[in-house]
Amino acid sequence: MKRLAIALAVLAVILAAGIAEAVYVDKVFAELEDGINALEAAIKSPEDDALDEVRELSQWWECKRKGLELFTYSPDMRAFSVALAETEGSLECGDDKNALSKCQSLLTTAENIHNMLDFNLADII
């Protein structure tokens, strides 16, 4: 009976950790999508400083990426950091059109990373 109780407790901990991870990943990538959309709006608007926006997004992403890498790993998360740096470089050079195209690439890459890290029944079957 003790073994069954211990096994159920371990199972409950594993399930709780898995659910917490999924919720955290969903939250991070929802915030990331909002940040990329805000960056895109800042690039399109001459009144906004898109360079500050991309730097802020890059710093935020680096903190979140390090947190995500504690319990999950994807080489694409590091490649995403490079893509953010490329966007920043485009903005520093004044190439807003390239920066806008990078934003679309960032959105697609973020969605792909999120799908890869997210729980999928197809991955189990």
Q: Tens-of-pLDDT digits for all 125 residues of the chain?
A: 889 999 999 999 999 988 898 899 999 999 999 999 999 999 998 887 889 999 999 999 999 999 898 888 888 898 999 999 999 999 999 898 999 999 999 999 999 999 888 877 776 66
- pLDDT computed for residue 123 by the predictor: 65
> Residue 5 has which token pair?
């109780």
- pLDDT computed for residue 125 by the predictor: 64
- pLDDT computed for residue 84 by the predictor: 94
C-beta of residue 81 within 8 angstroms of C-beta of residue 61:
yes
Question: Rounded distance, CA 78 to CA 80, Å?
Answer: 5
Q: Is 93 helix (H, G, I), strand (E, B) or coil?
A: coil
- CB-facing half-sphere around the CA of 14: CA atoms within 13 A: 6
Domains of the chain: 23-119 (1.20.120)
Question: Rounded distance, CA 97 to CA 101, Å?
Answer: 6
- Give which of 43, 22, 49, 48 is closest to 102, Cα–Cα: 43
Amino acid at 108: T
What pTM does this model have?
A: 0.85
Query: 49: how many CB neighbours lie within 10 A of its CB?
Result: 11
- pLDDT computed for residue 71 by the predictor: 83
- pLDDT computed for residue 112 by the predictor: 92
- pLDDT computed for residue 46 by the predictor: 80
Residue with tokens 């950091």: 81
- Give which of 83, 75, 78 is closest to 64, Cα–Cα: 78
